[in-house]
Amino acid sequence: MAIHKLPTRSEVPENLTWDLSTIFKNDSDFEAAVAALKQALPALEQYNQPFKTADQLVITIEQVLTLFRQLETVYVYASMKNDQDTTNTTYQGYQAQVDALAADVSAAAAFLEPAILEIPVDQLTDWQTNEPALKSYQHFIQTITDSREHVLSGQEEALIAAAGDIFGAASQTFSVLDNSDIQFPDVVDETGQTHQLSNGLYSQLLQSTDRQVRQDVFEALYSTYDQFKNTFATTLATEIKGHNYLAQVHHYDSARQAALAPKAIPESVYTTLVDQVNQHLPLLHRYVKLRQKQLALPQLHMYDLYTPLLGKPALSYTYPQAQTTAREALAVLGPEYTPIVDQIFDQRQIDVVENKGKRSGAYSGGAYDTNPFILLNWQDDLNNLYTLVHETGHSVHSYLTRHNQPYVYGDYPIFVAEIASTTNENLLTEYLLKTQKDPKVQAYLLNYYLDGFKGTVFRQTQFAEFEHYIHDAAANGTPLTADFMSTYYADLNARYYGDAVAKDPQIALEWARIPHFYMNYYVYQYATGFAAATTLADQITTNQPGALDNYLTYLKNGSASYPIETMQKAGVDMTNADYLERAFDVFEQRLDQLEALLADM
């Protein structure tokens, strides 16, 4: 039997590689740009003084932004060169260089925000009123001054910054324990082969069609976490204490308020999400019961939730076929959007196939002054088609933002980033459901969507609910012991999945293995983003008046306004429940369709 060997980087056909010479013609030009940036850094020190005039403030902001703009370009070139072949020592060196340079630029520019906060409020208001050049920086300045009452003295902030490694130690310890030190037992797959279990293999084997394999890996994984549950409880409790402490000393009411405030996200966005998901849990219970019926099981266990309901359909896409399908699916986004897709696809802005040493996974990258680029590791399947439209969504978002906003607003926050990419996924699902006539393929696509919704909206909100509960408990003096967290998590999980799923005692320990609990109110954004994307795609495909224009306005907005205002421009008000209710309507419609198809099969 022939062994498939990965090509080396030099063996990959040029048309399947990205063209980074559009950033720098060659490595020498990159090295010259790095040298010039290093040389320019010391000159920034002359601006590190109290602001006396509006003109002085404008010039300083422009100097700082110019350095970051130059840094972005060299950083993107180095990191992408390194990602295309991580075995190349030249590009390893480039990556190390720009990492160090990024730290140097950040340190050199660190004076700017404190200096702006030292300007008396009346003085700053007067400057913004009377200095035209400051108007374009109004929102940028607002993002700094909005935190004025939560910023401590320079000396106090310096002390906290110096303790950054200490505040990060719990997360780092969790990562080392979870990824390196913990040793899982051997397990046997459906072919009879023995493997040492890992977190990655666990996710894979939980999809096995052999129920005994699923049960064995589930029990093996959690028996291992059970041995270390008190250590994991200690790392998580320490992390949560850190969040609460930093919120308290910066005069916030809670860690959640502190986490959401920098992007002006009202806490009601979080509570509305949790409330709406809880109101719609009967839909999840119904979907889980459909799984139980389809798998013909007397009762589901937690290890039955990921095995495919249906065998994989005969859907295979070569890369050119995937491009054609993606163009057709995204055509609904109109004549302003689709030429950008064509440019990305046709002008070597995608690094397509796997090669030795290439970074795994997929991403969209680039800088303000470069094209958007996409890294893929292509396989001829449906998942990769979805990945292509997902990353294209990010890249077109970046393109439209950079071509419609000045550099200061030429990026976008995480809260809105995933909405553009996930909207594309929803548009692809809608397109495939219309064009694929085979009931088995349609059922597979519907299940694919419903599983994505379950994993992103329901599951991430479950995590968000747990995260807020333990922050509150710790703030009120409750020790976050393993038993305390496990008891709550078991009850929470039972509420989310309902009576169709057995109350497996092992799942009570799931909190111990979730890295996002160390990311301080981060996971809720997955759920809000997926729900917003579902709503936007529905508005676009049903030709709602103004839907497409509103969507393009959002894509062009960058960070020129706070995320909630940006999404209001898109036609989604995330401060009320309407967008969530609409997303659940789409979920229910597709669940109805799947139930009907399965009944006829």
Q: What is the 3-state secondary structure (H, E, C) of 460-519?
A: HHHHHHHHHHHHHHHHCCCCCCHHHHHHHHHHHHHHHHCCCECCCHHHHHHHHHCHHHHC
Percent of the chain residues topping a pLDDT of 70: 99
What is the arithmetic mean of pLDDT over 84-92?
95
Pair 423, 533: CB distance under 8 Å: yes
Is 80 exceeded by the pLDDT of residue 131? Answer: yes
- The count of other CB atoms within 10 Å of the CB of residue 282 is 10
d(CA 250, CA 150) in angstroms, rounded, equals 5
d(CA 307, CA 573) in angstroms, rounded, equals 36
Percent of the chain residues topping a pLDDT of 90: 92
Per-residue pLDDT tens digits for 462-480: 999 999 999 999 999 999 9
Banded pLDDT at 485 (limits 50, 70, 90): very high
Per-residue pLDDT tens digits for 288-342: 999 999 999 999 999 999 998 887 777 889 999 999 999 999 999 999 999 999 9
**The predicted structure's pLDDT at residue 3:** 53
Residue of 11, 156, 267, 391 with catalytic role: 391
- At residue 361, φ and ψ (nearest 5 deg) are 80, -155
d(CA 220, CA 225) in angstroms, rounded, equals 9
**The predicted structure's pLDDT at residue 310:** 85
Q: Look-up: residue for tokens 């293999």?
A: 201
What is the arithmetic mean of pLDDT over 44-49?
94
d(CA 128, CA 135) in angstroms, rounded, equals 6
374 burial via Cβ count (<10 Å: 0-12, 13-18, 19+): buried
Is 80 exceeded by the pLDDT of residue 241? Answer: yes
Is 90 exceeded by the pLDDT of residue 194? Answer: yes
d(CA 236, CA 511) in angstroms, rounded, equals 9
Domains of the chain: 11-148 (1.20.140.70), 174-312+439-519 (1.10.1370.20), 319-435 (no CATH)
The two three-digit tokens of residue 260, written as one number: 């959401």
What is the arithmetic mean of pLDDT over 565-584?
96
Q: Which is nearest to 264 in space by CA: 598, 574, 552, 542?
A: 574
Banded pLDDT at 180 (limits 50, 70, 90): confident
Is 60 exceeded by the pLDDT of residue 423? Answer: yes
Is 50 exceeded by the pLDDT of residue 236? Answer: yes
| Least confident among 39-48, 200-209, 263-272, 526-535 | 200-209
Mean pLDDT of the chain: 95
CA 547, 551, 552, 553 dihedral sign is positive
Say whether 467 is catalytic. no
Pair 566, 557: CB distance under 8 Å: yes
Q: What is the DSSP letter of 600?
A: H
